[in-house]
Amino acid sequence: MPGVSQRGIRLPASPIRKLTPFADAAKSRGMKVYHLNIGQPDLPTPKKALDALKHIDRTTLEYSPSNGFKSLREKLVGYYDRFGIKVTENEIIISSGGSEALLLTFLSCLDPGDEIILTEPSYANYQSFAVNAGVTVKTVTSDISNGFALPPVEYFEKAITDKTKAILICNPNNPTGYLYSEEELYRLRDIVRDHDLFLFSDEVYREFRYTDEPYLSALSLPGIEQNVVVIDSVSKRYSECGIRVGMIVSHNAEVMKTLLKMCQTRLSPPLLGQIVAEASIEGTEEYSKECFNEYLERRNFFIDGLNRIPGVFSPMPRGAFYTVASLPVDDTEDFCKWCLSEFSYKDEKTPEGFVGETVMMAPAAGFYRNRELGKNQVRMAYVLKKEDLARALTILEKALEAYNGKA
């Protein structure tokens, strides 16, 4: 029997979804599972976007241009202008989600054997994209004790070799919720400029910044205009994860020309998704404000609740809707599996029809290249309504008590 590819063997399992079989088994036993493991917003998609989907009047669902509909890209020019990002429609390519955007960027800008530097913990799929592109990942480690701030410049300098081609950041950050300051971004700018590297900046959580500091995109950093490629998506912005519409944005004409060739090999981004995305960009300002306020309230409630549980510590995230928290256990992967396979909590508040309740979290070691790091940490997403977050906090505290009280 023929074997699978070495690339496939090297691909790491997703720490966000790898415990799904345990969650499915728990549900089949009648358990209610509170999903803190995945950033799937529960807020509704904008009504005008859903209306656009319902009222499609095409008689043929055709291919779109490989770089996306011009009308969508023109609206995105206006969207970016609201954040002080000056681009033209030809500096935007529509992709099948932010994931494809990043993979195509790797394939367009990097060759097999090139090296890319990530801060860790980092979004786990970044390492998967690197494997697919034949790229070597090197990491600089941020620390929970200072909220996962940008590591010192000398850490980056030590990681750079003659094979280094790019630095990749996520700002605001998934999985930590950290938001890089202007000073930190300028430090990155200097490293990128001095070593003539690409700076890939994943900015899909741009709307969710819980600070009064002015917003600064990597595209607005002076002196490296030709080095920056921004990865973007409507998934979290408008609760439209399923339409799979992302964007690649860059001032570098050669990069955009190469990306277009890559896009032509996969023909076109989703037609229906682009229709929904285009309808979402304008006239949804009040929707975006309401979403922001809801996530801000959830953040404050959830992080306060976490830090009230004995032995738990979470920094206060300044962006996105995630946190990486340390728990009073030695191995969170074992603890998270145990929560789904052996633990059950029930009291008078357990919803009718369920035999018990538990929580699902993502073990944070999977967000580090060195799996020994983060072994006592989990990534959690506060994308559930406050009532469910409150229940999840109660269940987590009871689960820790039971787990640490085992003989």
pLDDT at position 407 = 52
pLDDT score of 15? 66
Give yes or no: residues 218 and 331 share one domain. Answer: no
What is the value of pTM for the model shown? 0.94
On whether residue 52 sits in a domain, the answer given is no
Of the residues 248, 281, 314, which one is the last residue of a structural domain?
281
Residue that wins the pLDDT comparison between 243 and 372: 243
Q: Is residue 13 part of a domain?
A: yes
1 occurs within a structural domain: no
Instruction: Tell whether 271 and 332 lie within a shared domain.
Output: no
**Number of alpha carbons in the 13 Å side-chain half-sphere of residue 233:** 23
Whether 93 is covered by a domain: the verdict is yes
Q: Looking at the structure, do residues 261 and 293 belong to the same domain, yes or no?
A: no
Give yes or no for a cis peptide into 317 (omega within 30° of 0): no
CATH number of domain containing 93:
3.40.640.10
CA gap 175, 231 in Å, rounded: 16
Per-residue model confidence as pLDDT tens digits over 14-61 = 766 778 999 999 999 999 999 999 888 889 999 999 999 999 999 999
Give the Cα separation of 265 and 140 in Å (integer): 34
Task: Note whether 113 and 258 are same-domain residues.
Answer: yes
Same domain, 296 and 398: yes
The mean of the pLDDT values for the chain is 95
pLDDT the model gives residue 370: 84
**pLDDT reading at 11 higher than 80:** no
Structure tokens at 291: 């979403």
Tokens of 371: 């799996």
Tally of structural domains, the chain: 2
Whether 235 and 99 map to the same domain: the answer is yes
Question: Does the bond joining 65 to the residue before it have cis omega, within 30 degrees of 0?
Answer: no
Are 290 and 340 in the same domain? yes
Residues 125, 18 within the same domain: no
3-state helix, strand, coil in the chain (%, to 5): 40, 15, 40
Q: Tens digit of pLDDT for each residue in 308-362?
A: 999 999 999 999 999 999 999 999 999 999 999 999 999 999 999 999 999 999 9
Residues 31, 82 within the same domain: no
The model's pLDDT over 253-269, given as tens digits with 9 standing for 90+, comes to 999 999 999 999 999 99
23 and 126 fall within a common domain: no
Region of residue 334 (phi > 0: left; psi between -120 and 50: alpha; otherwise: beta): alpha
What Å distances lie between residue 18 and 37, 123, 177, 362, CA to CA? 10, 14, 22, 9
Neighbours of 36 (CB within 10 A): 26
Domain's final residue, options 281, 303, 320: 281
User: Residue 318's domain spans which residues?
Assistant: 6-44+286-404
Which is it for strands 136-141 and 356-360: parallel, antiparallel or unpaired? Answer: unpaired
Same domain, 18 and 117: no
Residues in the chain, overall count? 407
DSSP 8-state secondary structure symbol assigned to residue 277: H
Residues 312 and 197 in one domain: no
Question: Closest Cα partner for 149 from 117, 123, 183, 116?
Answer: 183
Using an 8 Å Cβ cutoff, are 218 and 232 in contact? no
What is the mean pLDDT of the segment spanning 277-304? 96
Q: Looking at the domain assignment, is residue 224 inside a domain?
A: yes
In 273-405, at which residue ranges do the beta strands (DSSP E only) sit? 322-326, 356-360, 362-363, 377-381
Q: Is the residue at 50 inside a domain?
A: no
